[in-house]
Amino acid sequence: MAHVQDKETSTMPAESPLASTPEPSREINDRFTKNEKWFIVSLTAAVGLFSPLTANIYFPAIPTLSQAFHKPTELINLTVTMYMILQGVAPMVWGPLSDNVGRRPTSAGCMIILALSCVGLALVPTSAFWLLMLLRCLQAAGSASTIAIGAGVIGDISTRAERGGFFGLFTIGPMVGPTIGPVIGGALSDHLGWRSIFWFLCISASMCLLMIVVFQPETLKTLSDAGRRPILHRPIVPLIGRNKQTSNEMTTTATTRRASKNPFRIFLNFDVDILLIISALSCAVFYGVITTISTLFVKAYPFLSETDIGLCFLAIGGGMTVGSVLTGRVLDREYQHFKQRAEKCSTEKGSETSFDITREENFPLERVRLLRLCAVHNRLLNK
């Protein structure tokens, strides 16, 4: 987290209005109290939970769905593939839409699509496999963008000093989802049938939708600081932000840029393409493993119930959670250690030139990030 904040600071040009005049930005981010910000982040984290939860809650029921629809496991796994495709494409549409239309209506729209698709999945006839695949795509279109929108909400309401703590709470959803999703899905499918999985998601999404409509304010600066806002951007019960004072001066001094409506321009950046390929390969391997676990375990251990299969996913989810926490701590420590060592060497050499190690061009990010990984990898190979 600390590195992310340092990187954001270092990549901001010195002549940028946002960098040279921080006071207006701080005033706008203070339109909510600290407790109100934590409530918004908590609600956003609950909404963001649906992206991994909807994907992973489905896995323990794959053998049951194969029997119910009289289709081979390969075709049922195809519904997972289609879900993942839409999960990757949908944020490219919903993200820019939230930057222009607003966070509140976009989040509500995602929850509406998710809830309606879950109703359809719970009622889909077993003779219509094509409808199952179509509704899974629609379900992905509604749930997959909640993390991207949530990150935008946190960016709207937080300063750089606050952002690390808020993202710490927000990322609980993506980390917990893969852990509890298969457990819930296996228990529901085992005791109430596979359709109960989608009824559970429908009820949960409807509850989050109700919270958004009733309590969540619009956080996008260009809309929340406007004098009169449309009803879509106003909560039914305006408990949050009701004491804020919005002046014309504050609105005019805020430096905001209208988001680009073409999200595909990001592919013109070669560095982004490399990162996307690396992430895509990692994601492909991960979902290739967890998608086949339930089918392989049923064949290898026929005595396992769906509840037992769901519990088998705890090892993967728990490892992801612990690994994320440990990785963050190790990286923060390594970054700080290298920074102190570089500053000490610079002082001993008595260099008179200005050398800021926190700047991106001066910090050997990949060397520091991969140093411990190479050591662990060699240790494992030697064993």
pTM, 2 dp: 0.72
Angle at the Cα of 311 (from 297 to 197), degrees rounded to 5?
95
Q: Would you state the structure tokens that stand for residue 62, as one six-digit string?
A: 């794959």
Sequential pLDDT tens for the chain (383 residues): 444 444 434 433 333 333 333 333 444 556 778 888 888 888 888 888 888 888 888 888 888 899 999 999 889 988 888 888 888 888 888 888 888 888 888 989 999 999 999 999 999 999 999 999 999 999 998 888 888 888 888 888 887 667 767 877 787 777 777 788 888 998 998 889 899 999 999 999 999 999 999 888 888 877 665 555 667 777 887 777 655 544 444 443 344 445 556 667 878 888 888 888 988 888 888 888 887 888 888 888 888 888 888 888 888 877 777 776 677 677 777 777 777 777 777 676 665 445 555 555 566 666 666 666 666 666 666 66
Q: How far apart are CA 344 and CA 280, in angstroms?
A: 39
The backbone torsions φ and ψ at residue 171, rounded to the nearest 5 degrees and listed phi first, read -75, -5
For residue range 105-137, list pLDDT tens digits in order.
898 999 999 999 999 999 999 999 999 999 999
**Cα pseudo-dihedral 84, 85, 90, 93, rounded to 10:** 160
The pLDDT value given to residue 45: 86
**pLDDT tens profile 213-270:** 988 888 887 766 555 566 777 788 777 765 554 444 444 334 444 555 666 787 888 8
Round to whole Å and give the CA distance between 46 and 173: 7
Per-residue exposure over 30-41, b if at least 16 CB sit within 10 Å of its own CB, e if not: ebbeeebbebbb
